[in-house]
Amino acid sequence: MAGQTLEIIYDVPRVEEKLILKSAKMRGLSVRLTNVRQQHLLFDKPSVDISLVRCISMYNAAHSAAVREGVGVRAINSSEAIIYSGNKILTVSRLKAAGLPTPRTAVGLDDEAAAKALENVGLPAVDKPPIGSWGRLVALIKDELTFKTVLEHRRMISSTIMKTHLIQEYIDIPNRDVRTVVLGDEVLGAIYRYRGDGDWRTNVARGGVPVTAFLNDELREISIKTARAVGGDLVSVDIFETVDGSYLVNEVNGVPEFKGLMQATGVDVPEKIADYILGQLRR
């Protein structure tokens, strides 16, 4: 596969992209870096053989993948996987269709419907907009007053999609959730994310602390099925372990960060990605 070209598409470069670049070059791949904030995208065949989409913005990622797909270049992940992972309603749809366990979920597409959704789920609940990373605007609804406050504020955000409420039962997890990273048919590793001080969310961006976790067969199976449900080659899966020991799939990320997992588990994710891409090019 020497002589073949991998394109890494990004908007904000992170350490992960640099590590992937290095691993890809060590395997003899040419690498082309495309910063979509500076470079435009054309529906002409670029001189690349496969594109790895690493944009932080979900929309940038989906749009980049779609342009490449339009001219027959395989994008990892596909635009469809990015979109169905990146929108929490679409994710739950795919998880449910695949028979995967999730927290109880109701959807309100406007204020009145959202109030009924909350009534159905009961208090406490979690209210999420369909789109958003790092737990942004994910609100814990402990009482009616908080819910009113959230409804009013969401109404003022000009983006239509922010007026949509995904309401889920609040799962009383023991101070942590589980995150796995899946690549193709392999689960690369699992970590616990412990809540940091001062926030109920476990997102590392909110102070959550990553610690290696034992990857048992059930977690492995759920993770693989989840990746297939959204059609992703490379995804991370956020899983709740409930008090009775069962698992619920919470969210999926179609452009996953994996620095925390690398540090906690020692797994060399960039090498795995480079090998996976070589495998895809060989097919």
Site for a copy of itself in 142-181 (CB under 8 A): 142, 144-146, 148-150, 152-154, 156-162, 164
Question: Residue 216 Cβ, how far from a copy of itself at the closest point, in Å?
Answer: 26
- Interaction with a copy of itself in 181-240: which residues (CB under 8 A)? 198-200
Q: How far is the CB of 212 from a copy of itself (least distance, A)?
A: 29
| Residue closer to a copy of itself, measured from CB, 13 or 70 | 70
∠ CA(273), CA(6), CA(274), 5° rounding? 20
Q: Residue 88 or 272: which CB sits closer to a copy of itself?
A: 88
Figure out which of the listed residues 60, 85, 226, 250 binds a copy of itself, where binding follows CB under 8 A.
Answer: 60
Residue 174: count other Cβ atoms within 10 Å of its Cβ.
12
Nearer to a copy of itself, 90 or 278 (CB): 90
Q: Which of residues 92-111 bind a copy of itself (CB under 8 A)?
A: 92-97, 102, 105-110
10 Å CB burial of residue 256 (0-12, 13-18, 19+) is buried
Binding-site string for a copy of itself from residue 61 to residue 90, where x marks contact by CB under 8 A and - marks none: -xxx-xx-xxxx------xx--x-----xx
Q: Which of 31, 33, 123, 137 binds a copy of itself (CB under 8 A)?
A: 137
Q: What is the DSSP letter of 171?
A: P
d(CA 133, CA 170): 19
Given a contact cutoff of 8 angstroms between Cβ atoms, the answer to whether 232 and 85 are in contact is yes
| Cβ 55 to a copy of itself shortest distance, Å | 8
Radius of gyration of the chain (CA): 19
Are the CB atoms for 178 and 216 separated by under 8 Å? no
For 120, the enclosing helix (H) or strand (E) is: helix 111-121
Site membership for a copy of itself, residue 38 (CB under 8 A): yes
CA nearest to 177, candidates 217, 146, 206: 206
Q: Which residues fall within 8 angstroms of residue 220, CB to CB, at 6 or more apart?
A: 180, 187
Q: Does 243 participate in binding a copy of itself (rule CB under 8 A)?
A: no
Q: Is 13 in the site for a copy of itself (CB under 8 A)?
A: no
For a copy of itself, give the closer residue by CB, 22 or 148: 148
Q: Which is nearer to a copy of itself, 140 or 209 (CB)?
A: 140
Q: Are 8 and 34 in contact (CB under 8 A)?
A: yes
